[in-house]
């Protein structure tokens, strides 16, 4: 199991810069580690579009409908989050197509998706809890992924940030 990109580079170049736009309470090592693990599990940072022609985009595999719903029903009602995303975009209009060209934006949207979840953020360094969060909140009960199958990807993220 190898990633398409160095996970340290993904963390330094995409995830940490994106999270820096968020309020301090959301810019945490635990959130960064979870976002790193989710992208690692979803695509191993090798793909920007869903294999097989599905709608999901970015290393974090967010569907355009999810992106649009987040803006329509979540972000727009939270001024601090809206301002953070718009500052990151620096004049660009929020658009799901940016999920394949702006990895900082894609990372931010994944982080906001995590924040929107009713589940608690898994603890820093707890790969089992992170894999479980991924299954319950990204892959869902209907998805084919399993916690056991996801665990190595989250263990890699924990190791990178140790």
Q: Using one digit for the tens of pLDDT, what is the confidence trace for 25-43?
A: 999 999 999 999 999 999 9
Confidence of residue 3 (pLDDT cuts 50, 70, 90): low
- Residue 1 is assigned to a structural domain of this protein: no
- Residue 120 is assigned to a structural domain of this protein: yes
- pLDDT tens column, 69-117: 999 999 999 999 999 999 999 999 999 999 999 999 999 999 999 999 9
Sign of CA dihedral 4, 11, 40, 109: negative
Calpha distance 150→133 (Å, rounded): 10
- Residue 61 is assigned to a structural domain of this protein: yes
Calpha distance 54→57 (Å, rounded): 9
Task: Report pLDDT for 1.
Answer: 59
In terms of residue numbers, what domain contains 131? 7-160
- Residue 2 is assigned to a structural domain of this protein: no
Count: domains in the chain? 1
C-alpha dist (Å) from residue 85 to 48, 56, 77, 156: 20, 20, 13, 28
Task: Report pLDDT for 154.
Answer: 98
| Strand, coil or helix: 83 | helix
Confidence of residue 2 (pLDDT cuts 50, 70, 90): low
């Amino acid at each position: 199991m190898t990633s398409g990109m160095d996970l340290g580079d993904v963390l330094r170049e995409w995830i940490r810069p994106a999270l820096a736009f968020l309020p301090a309470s959301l810019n945490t090592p635990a959130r960064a580690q979870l976002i790193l693990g989710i992208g690692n599990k979803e695509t191993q940072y090798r793909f920007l579009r869903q294999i097989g022609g599905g709608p999901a985009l970015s290393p974090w595999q967010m569907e355009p409908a999810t992106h649009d719903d987040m803006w329509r029903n979540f972000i727009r009602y939270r001024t601090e989050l809206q301002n953070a995303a718009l500052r990151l975009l620096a004049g660009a209009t929020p658009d799901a197509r940016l999920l394949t060209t702006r990895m900082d934006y894609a990372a931010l949207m994944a982080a906001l998706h995590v924040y929107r979840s009713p589940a608690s953020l898994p603890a820093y360094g707890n790969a089992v809890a992170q894999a479980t969060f991924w299954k319950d909140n990204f892959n869902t009960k209907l998805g084919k992924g399993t916690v056991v199958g996801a665990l190595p990807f989250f263990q890699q993220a924990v190791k990178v940030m140790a």
